[in-house]
Amino acid sequence: MTKQVNIAILGFGTVGSGVYQVLTEGKESIKHRELVNIDVRRILVRDLVTERNIGLAPIETFATDFADIINDPEISIVVECMGGTVPAKDYILGALAAGKTVVTSNKEVLAKHWPEFERQAKATGAGLYFEATAGGGVPIIRTLLDSMQGNNITHLMGIVNGTTNYILTKMADEGRPYAEVLAEAQKLGYAEANPSADVDGWDSVYKLSILASIAFHARVNIDDIYREGISLVSAEDIAVAKKLGYTIKLLAIGKKMNNNLEVRVHPTMLHNSHPLANVSGVFNGIFLTGDAVDDIMLYGRGAGKLPTASAIVSDIIYASNVAEHRYMTFVNEFDAPQWLVHQKDWLSGYFIRLTASDELGSLSKIAGVLGDSGVSVHSVMQFNENAHKNTAELVFITDTARELSVQSALARLRALSCVISVDSVMRVEE
Amino acid sequence: MTKQVNIAILGFGTVGSGVYQVLTEGKESIKHRELVNIDVRRILVRDLVTERNIGLAPIETFATDFADIINDPEISIVVECMGGTVPAKDYILGALAAGKTVVTSNKEVLAKHWPEFERQAKATGAGLYFEATAGGGVPIIRTLLDSMQGNNITHLMGIVNGTTNYILTKMADEGRPYAEVLAEAQKLGYAEANPSADVDGWDSVYKLSILASIAFHARVNIDDIYREGISLVSAEDIAVAKKLGYTIKLLAIGKKMNNNLEVRVHPTMLHNSHPLANVSGVFNGIFLTGDAVDDIMLYGRGAGKLPTASAIVSDIIYASNVAEHRYMTFVNEFDAPQWLVHQKDWLSGYFIRLTASDELGSLSKIAGVLGDSGVSVHSVMQFNENAHKNTAELVFITDTARELSVQSALARLRALSCVISVDSVMRVEE
């Protein structure tokens, strides 16, 4: 009754060694509960001498030549935990071509090369599993695939990058500026020496590409996703947001209206009553709306050795026990082609913070420009902290407006003599 | 390639008609995406004349005799949405005995008769699916079964009853007493005319029995679960909790330490920073801790026509596409028998609110009794609202203590001359 499954792990850093640990420590209970005996037959590393985790597994398990794995007919599942696209892409394609199922945690290579992987997997009947590519230990992919099939999903909003959420949470809790908190996060190992993949939003873009493709049954390329990172979020924005009952989060947003999709990653103001507003520190949260299930949210650790390993191991077991591997069916191949909403034509609320001269009629002029541009004001606050300079800080929150209208209003506001500076513009989601 | 699946729906009230609606409206996209064409062949109702939803489906679909379903060889899945145990139990057993897979949303019948259903299902190879029995649209069962297999789950805490959460949220938001809010909830249709199943915690007990059995791989009977409803939660408790930064929730709690289990349903104080503290109104939230994945939470609508239908439809599709149905493997059948922690021997924090005479030495006497009983005080607050009566309201929050020690301390406190009344005792979870 118990099935024997032999696997190879590609890469033995944090994630790869975590998978080894979970499979080793949980071996007997997995065998008992799931009726599958999983043996790690091979671990591929670049170099036996420099591999820091070499002591964690028997030396004979390690290999440095991918051919040892591809040519081993007893290995049925290849777990790719290397990250990056080279050589991960070729290894994944090679494994699939050899009829081996691939389980990967590599969001970058999947977001960039998914269609090639799918074609290759279909050709040999191999499986392709990637729960760990988005949300770490949070079972968001399986939820989309196996628990929401009766739904037309219309909204997806996620905090999918722990590093940026940690930085924004620290900035909010301690009132400190971005650069200082980033430097501290780097010192603590929560941010990379080169933090661009996280703070510039690339990691969130990869994950949104994967999640939106599944949720909307339409292949969403990374180039289609608008991207804005957190480096321009100021301590002032956060402080003002707090006063108004809002929190600033880096959100990955996908929306479907009729047959139109919009997909974007940017800092976003969320009212504190929104469930995502309470997702703090390195935690991730993904909020979905389906026409049947209504709102649901999944919350958990989006990264880390064991949470990521948890997702990978669940994929290995799932892949071992499934009768037939299944493949994506994207609407693009079936329905009328999806129209991707132009990046500047979204509908959103907007937060506009500006410094105006504290003179009679300023507010009315500014409100007039917004109104003329088709941007309706939801609320306005005036802060007089700079009263001694004869300037006032004005904060507007708009009703839902078109991004193009807001941008045109901003151009006109900047030209007003009473507007000293437009200090910040941020999108607001409900 | 597309599989034809014919189903019967038992019961055509809110849930049954919701399933029909989701399957009908989603028929083409489900066929395209999931490669299964689902036809509702039969709908069982008690009486064609009095059935209020009769107009929603073609009249020839309806049946009043279960034999019409059980004897139809083309029906492979029976969806039970009747609720209660009679005749649901017999119908489920009958369908399984006939080799038909059962999908149910009926928590009561499953919690009470699960072992019989499992045995019958195994005997004929039929499937038994019940995502909708806990958490409504929230995919908590699939998450436990298919996404956490590599984990040893140690904690499960859930807000699994929307009615009581609605009442507690209203009480907290508006400072109103229990009886008044319950009456309003009944008027609005959020609570039943006979509210006992919800407010006395039975519904939560059924759900905890199901969730804890899966999470801990050990069959947890409803009789093993300690139960306390919300009817004694006072507006005063909620007000004091609020002052201290806590929220009161009816929690379903399961904990596993070594091989010991504890399972209980009772009002619980949670610090506002806990993710479950922000689960408001009719929403449900289930918080889990696994040794690999660490903390995760799932949030969504725990009841309602379409959210429940969403879960049922996902089960129907899952059951249609699976190669082989799988059954529970409980540790009780495998490991050393599980020892269920005695109901009064839990470890928990405690909130104790009492009225004492406002005299010198009261506080020291009370603290002395707690200390002597092995109950260490985490924090104490004195409110002097009754200063004119020469009494003081004292609130203690204890460190983790044994329930037995706290109960014995309370008996001794009640005997102290300076203690006028012990007004409230509530468990506190972190």
CB contact under 8 A, A148 and B324: no
CB contact under 8 A, A139 and B137: no
Q: For residue B279, give the chain A residue with the closest CA.
A: A275
Q: For residue B152, give the chain A residue with the closest CA.
A: A26
Confidence of residue A334 (pLDDT cuts 50, 70, 90): very low
pLDDT at B211: 97
A326 part of a folded domain: no
pLDDT at B342: 64
B308 part of a folded domain: no
CATH of the domain at B373: 3.30.70.260
User: What are the pLDDT digits (tens) for A275-324?
Assistant: 999 999 999 999 999 999 999 999 999 999 999 999 999 999 999 999 88
CB contact under 8 A, A321 and B326: yes
Work out the percent of chain A whose per-residue pLDDT is above 90: 84
| Shortest distance, CA A405 to any CA of chain B (angstroms) | 35
For tokens 């189903």, what's the residue?
A: B7
**Alpha-helical regions (H) of B135-290:** 140-146, 162-174, 178-188, 196-199, 202-215, 235-243
Confidence check: pLDDT of A385 > 70: no
- Tell whether B255 and B177 lie within a shared domain: yes
CB contact under 8 A, A26 and B323: no
The pair of three-digit structure tokens given for residue A393, joined into one six-digit string: 């800080």
Contacts of A310 in chain B (CB under 8 A): 148, 150-151, 290, 292-293
Residue of A19, A144, A147 for testing the chain B interface, max B β-carbons within 10 Å = A147
B278 part of a folded domain: yes
- Tell whether A112 and A183 lie within a shared domain: no
CA distance A275 to A262: 22
- Tell whether A265 and A122 lie within a shared domain: no
Contacts of B274 in chain A (CB under 8 A): none
Residue of A154, A169, A247, A310 for testing the chain B interface, max B β-carbons within 10 Å = A310
A163 part of a folded domain: yes
B335 part of a folded domain: no
Contacts of B291 in chain A (CB under 8 A): 306
CB contact under 8 A, A149 and B323: no
Residues contacting residue B292 through CB under 8 Å, at least 6 positions apart:
A18, A22, A26, A137, A306, A307, A309, A310, A313, B150, B151, B152
A261 φ/ψ angles, rounded to the nearest 5 degrees: -115, 145
pLDDT at B334: 40
| Number of residues assigned to chain A | 430
Contacts of B34 in chain A (CB under 8 A): 149
CB contact under 8 A, A34 and B334: no
Global pTM reads: 0.94
- Tell whether A145 and A269 lie within a shared domain: yes
pLDDT at B336: 41
- Tell whether B103 and B203 lie within a shared domain: no
User: What are the pLDDT digits (tens) for A123-170?
Assistant: 999 999 999 999 999 999 999 999 999 999 999 999 999 999 999 999
The beta-carbon neighbor of B22 closest among A139, A143, A292 is A292
CA distance B353 to B350: 10
- Tell whether A288 and A158 lie within a shared domain: yes
- Tell whether A361 and A384 lie within a shared domain: yes
Positions of A annotated as catalytic residues are: 207
- Tell whether A172 and A73 lie within a shared domain: no
Confidence of residue A191 (pLDDT cuts 50, 70, 90): very high
B172 φ/ψ angles, rounded to the nearest 5 degrees: -70, -45
- Tell whether A22 and A84 lie within a shared domain: yes
Instruction: Tell me the mean pLDDT in the region A398-423.
Output: 95
**Alpha-helical regions (H) of A158-290:** 162-174, 178-188, 196-199, 202-215, 235-243
Domain-terminating residue out of A116, A136, A156 = A136
* B429 closest CA partner among B289, B284, B238, B251: B251
A332 part of a folded domain: no
User: What are the pLDDT digits (tens) for A11-65?
Assistant: 999 999 999 999 999 999 999 889 999 999 999 999 998 999 999 999 999 999 9
* B89 closest CA partner among B121, B125, B126, B114: B114
- Tell whether B232 and B267 lie within a shared domain: yes
| Shortest distance, CA B8 to any CA of chain A (angstroms) | 17
Q: Domain total for chain B?
A: 3
For tokens 């009486």, what's the residue?
A: B47
pLDDT at B337: 45
ipTM of the prediction: 0.93
The beta-carbon neighbor of B314 closest among A147, A301, A313 is A147
Confidence check: pLDDT of A335 > 60: no
Catalytic residue among B100, B207, B249, B256: B207
CB contact under 8 A, A293 and B306: yes
- Tell whether A297 and A359 lie within a shared domain: no
| Shortest distance, CA B131 to any CA of chain A (angstroms) | 9
- Tell whether A291 and A277 lie within a shared domain: yes
pLDDT-flagged residues of chain B (< 70): 330-339, 341-344, 384-387
Confidence check: pLDDT of A259 > 60: yes
CATH of the domain at A193: 3.30.360.10
For residue B37, the tally of other CB atoms under 10 A from its CB is 16
For tokens 């009328």, what's the residue?
A: A336
CA distance B297 to B244: 24
Contacts of A321 in chain B (CB under 8 A): 326
Q: Is B339 within 8 Å of A334 (Cβ atoms)?
A: no
Is the N-terminal amide bond of B87 cis, ω within 30° of 0?
Answer: yes
| Containing structural domain, residue B7 | 3-136
The pair of three-digit structure tokens given for residue A14, joined into one six-digit string: 């944090």
Active site residue B170: no
Domain-terminating residue out of B103, B119, B136 = B136
Contacts of B26 in chain A (CB under 8 A): 150-152, 292
Residues contacting residue B202 through CB under 8 Å, at least 6 positions apart:
B196, B227
A213 part of a folded domain: yes
Domain-terminating residue out of A90, A113, A136 = A136
| Shortest distance, CA A310 to any CA of chain B (angstroms) | 6
CB contact under 8 A, B150 and A32: no
The beta-carbon neighbor of B149 closest among A33, A138, A292 is A33
User: What are the pLDDT digits (tens) for B118-169?
Assistant: 999 999 999 999 999 999 999 999 999 999 999 999 999 999 999 999 999 9
A418 part of a folded domain: yes
CB contact under 8 A, A324 and B323: yes
pLDDT at A337: 46
The beta-carbon neighbor of B300 closest among A217, A296, A314 is A296
For residue B208, the tally of other CB atoms under 10 A from its CB is 32
pLDDT at A331: 59
CB contact under 8 A, A311 and B26: no
Please give the single-letter amino acid code of residue B50. Answer: T
Contacts of B313 in chain A (CB under 8 A): 149-150, 292
CB contact under 8 A, A298 and B301: no
Q: What is the mean pLDDT of chain A?
A: 93
Q: For residue A334, give the chain B residue with the closest CA.
A: B32
The pair of three-digit structure tokens given for residue B388, joined into one six-digit string: 């004119």
For B267-288, letters b (16+ CB in 10 Å) and e give bbbbbeebbbbbbbebbbbbbb
CB contact under 8 A, A150 and B317: yes
